[in-house]
Amino acid sequence: MSEPAPLDLAIIGSGPAGLCTADAALRAGLSVRVYDRGCLAESIHRFPTFMRFHSTKENLELGGVPLVGPEDKPTRQEYLEYLRRFVTLRGLDVRLYTEVTRLERGPGEFTLHLRGRGGDEHVQRARFVTIATGGYDSPQRLGVPGEDLPKVRHHFDEPHPYFRQRVMIAGGKNSAVETALILARAGAHVTICHRGPGFAGVKYWLRPDIENRIREGRIAALMPAEVVAIEPLHVQVRLRETGETRRVENDVVLALIGFEPDLSFLARCGVAVDPATKQPVLDPQTLETNVPGLFCAGVILGGSLSGMVFIENARHHGEQIVAKIRGS
């Protein structure tokens, strides 16, 4: 059997950044294919089931395809439906459940090593490659004894299982605050444990809500404080101002303190990263890395600086990359 022809551009990751890059490339007449190790937009698929985006619809649209819906801000379900429609409308070649395990650079082209969900392995060649693997590979861990107990979760999906449970939420950013509010309203007994003194960085509509719920006693707050140990029926929390340790009765711990991108893939591809910020070293105009022909798009550009790159400001990355490829 003859080897498949090399693509002009292979894209790793089918999140918004990967898809808008594919769309820009296809419209520029390039042969392009997107690979994702999970379903379409796997990261967004794993967001809380009933979440609503903070951005308004027009700021989440890709390639000028309208995102319509009854409210200003789409739900996760609506956005996933939009992405499916976007791929279909634009005729994008998306290969799902296909992980790119390795990337090799040869003269004038790359070889992508691929593994399907059945464990089948094959290769695909491409002149250019874009890494759009996002930043939600692994949740950040508390690093305390007991974190591997079955009652500890690093991911929130939906409120129903938490009804009448004593839930400790570790974290103080948007996800932790939003989850605390959702769970309290769903009948859970919520304590939020936050290292900081307040909720200065959270979205403007969440902050008064959490502060008022704490003030009225509907949500208990320990802050500035940190979880120091998790036991089967308790959590130990150290109050940072006094050094006092409290032992709080508890059924479930939700550690919602952020995610870390998988930088080992970048390293294996030869991409240099800034040692402090973990951001890939690249040309900000073209998004080409130190490896010629290899680009990055989307959240991966932010390295460990979570919240720096998001859909709103990443959805034009594809145009920058395609402009460089066309000029090559």
Ligand X SMILES: Cc1cc2nc3c(=O)[nH]c(=O)nc-3n(C[C@H](O)[C@H](O)[C@H](O)COP(=O)(O)OP(=O)(O)OC[C@H]3O[C@@H](n4cnc5c(N)ncnc54)[C@H](O)[C@@H]3O)c2cc1C
Q: In angstroms, rounded to a whole number, what is the distance separating the alpha carbons of residues 304 and 292?
A: 24
C-alpha Rg value of the chain to the nearest Å: 22
Closest to ligand X by CB, 159 or 298: 298
Q: In angstroms, rounded to a whole number, what is the distance separating the alpha carbons of residues 176 and 192?
A: 8
> Interface with ligand X includes 320 (CB under 6 A)?
no
153 to 212, contacts with ligand X by CB under 6 A? 175
Q: In angstroms, rounded to a whole number, what is the distance separating the alpha carbons of residues 9 and 30?
A: 7
Name the 3-class secondary structure at 271: coil
Give which of 86, 52, 90 is closest to 67, Cα–Cα.
86
Cβ 217 to ligand X, closest distance in Å? 27
Taking CB under 6 A as the binding criterion, the range among 31-39, 200-208, 284-292, 319-327 that sits at the site for ligand X is: 31-39
Closest to ligand X by CB, 294 or 311: 311
Give which of 43, 63, 57 is closest to 322, Cα–Cα.
63
Taking CB under 6 A as the binding criterion, the range among 43-51, 187-195, 221-229, 275-283 that sits at the site for ligand X is: 43-51
Question: Which amino acid is located at 309 in the chain?
Answer: V
Which one among 11, 92, 221, 311 touches ligand X, defined by CB under 6 A? 311
Cβ 77 to ligand X, closest distance in Å? 14
User: 289 has which bridge partners?
Assistant: 282
Taking CB under 6 A as the binding criterion, the range among 85-93, 143-151, 152-160, 308-316 that sits at the site for ligand X is: 308-316
Which one among 86, 136, 156, 162 touches ligand X, defined by CB under 6 A? 136
Q: Where on the phi/psi map is residue 279: left (φ > 0), alpha (ψ -120 to 50), or beta?
A: beta
Which one among 10, 51, 269, 287 touches ligand X, defined by CB under 6 A? 51
Which one among 8, 24, 47, 253 touches ligand X, defined by CB under 6 A? 47
CA angle 125, 131, 132 (to 5 degrees): 130
Residues that bind ligand X (rule: CB under 6 A) add up to a total of 34
Judge whether 162 and 186 are in contact, CB under 8 Å: yes
Q: What is the DSSP letter of 3?
A: P
> Interface with ligand X includes 130 (CB under 6 A)?
no
Which one among 10, 11, 103, 299 touches ligand X, defined by CB under 6 A? 299
Give which of 215, 211, 223 is closest to 177, Cα–Cα.
211
Closest to ligand X by CB, 54 or 246: 54
The mark string for 91-120 relative to ligand X (x by CB under 6 A, - otherwise) is --------xx--------------------
Judge whether 229 and 145 are in contact, CB under 8 Å: yes
Question: Which amino acid is located at 16 in the chain?
Answer: P
Cβ 83 to ligand X, closest distance in Å? 10
Q: Which residues bind ligand X (CB under 6 A)?
A: 12-18, 35-38, 41-44, 47, 51, 53-55, 99-100, 132-134, 136, 175, 265, 298-299, 310-312, 314
